[in-house]
Amino acid sequence: MGTLWKLRGCVKENLKPTLLCLFFIVGEVAIEVIIPFLTADLLNVIKAGAEIKQIVSTGIVLVLLALISLTCGGVAGVECSKAATGFAKNVREELFIRIQGFGFSNIDKFSSSSLVTRMTTDINNVQMAYMMTVRTAVRAPLMLICSVIFAYVLGGKLAGSFAVVIPVLAFGLIIVAKFAMPAFSAVFKKYDKLNESIEENVRAMRVVKGFSREEYEKEKFNSAADSICKDFTKAERIVAINSPLMQLCMYFNMVFILAVGSKMIVTSGGTILDVGQITAMLTYGFQILFSLMMLSMIYVMLTISAESFKRIAEVMDEVPCIKNPENPVTEVKDGSINFTDVAFKYSSKAKRNALFDIDLDIKSGMTVGILGGTGSSKTTLIQLIPRLYDVTDGSVKVGGVDVRDYDLKTLRDNVAVVLQKNELFSGTIRENLLWGNENASDEEVMKACELAQAAEFVKSFPEGLDTHIEQGGTNVSGGQKQRLCIARALLKKPKILILDDSTSAVDTKTDALIRKGFKSYIPETTKIIIAQRVASVMESDLILVMDGGKIAAMGNHDELMKNSDIYREIYEQQTKGGEDNA
Note whether 345 and 104 are within 8 A (CB).
no
| Long-range contact set of residues 44-47: C-beta below 8 Å, sequence gap at least 24 | 44/274, 44/275, 44/276, 44/277, 47/274, 47/275, 47/276
- What's the rounded Cα separation, in Å, for the pair 394 and 190? 41
User: For 197-218, what is the mean pLDDT?
Assistant: 74
- What's the rounded Cα separation, in Å, for the pair 264 and 121? 54
Confidence of residue 395 (pLDDT cuts 50, 70, 90): very high
In this prediction, residue 271 carries a pLDDT of 59
Nearest to 449 by CA among 430, 470, 422: 430
Cα angle for residues 425, 428, 432 (degrees, 5° grid): 50
Average pLDDT over the chain, rounded to whole? 82
Note whether 44 and 154 are within 8 A (CB).
no
Note whether 376 and 430 are within 8 A (CB).
no
Q: If you ran DSSP here, which 8-state letter would residue 320 be given?
A: P
3-state secondary structure of 49: coil
Torsion region of 357: left, alpha or beta (phi above 0 gives left; psi -120 to 50 gives alpha)? left
Note whether 534 and 560 are within 8 A (CB).
no
**Distance set, CA 325 to CA 82, 101, 328, 389 (Å):** 39, 14, 5, 15
In this prediction, residue 405 carries a pLDDT of 93
Beta strands in 223-295 (DSSP E): none
Report pTM. 0.67
- Whether the predicted pLDDT of 270 surpasses 70: no
- Residues 465-520: tens digit of each pLDDT: 999 988 777 788 888 888 898 899 888 888 999 998 877 777 888 888 888 888 77
In this prediction, residue 367 carries a pLDDT of 92
- What's the rounded Cα separation, in Å, for the pair 373 and 573? 14
Candidate from 138-142, 304-308, 446-450 with smallest mean pLDDT: 304-308
**Where is 494: in which H helix or E strand?**
none
Q: For strand 427-428 and strand 468-469, is the pairing parallel, antiparallel, or unpaired? A: antiparallel
Q: Which tops the pLDDT comparison, 161 or 530?
A: 530
In this prediction, residue 268 carries a pLDDT of 63
Tell me the CA end-to-end span of the chain in Å, nearest whole number.
72
In this prediction, residue 158 carries a pLDDT of 66
- What's the rounded Cα separation, in Å, for the pair 209 and 233? 34
Highest mean pLDDT among 64-73, 185-194, 293-302, 569-578: 64-73
In this prediction, residue 384 carries a pLDDT of 92
- Residues 4-39: tens digit of each pLDDT: 666 766 777 778 898 899 899 999 888 988 888 778
In this prediction, residue 579 carries a pLDDT of 44
Q: Residue 246: which residues within 8 A CB-CB, separation 6 or more? A: 169, 289, 292, 293, 296
The number of residues in the chain equals: 582
Q: For strand 427-428 and strand 526-530, is the pairing parallel, antiparallel, or unpaired? A: unpaired
Candidate from 41-55, 98-112, 484-498 with smallest mean pLDDT: 41-55
- Work out the burial of residue 329: count CB atoms within 10 Å of its CB; fewer than 13 is exposed, 13-18 middle, 19 or more buried: middle
Q: If you ran DSSP here, which 8-state letter would residue 349 be given?
A: T
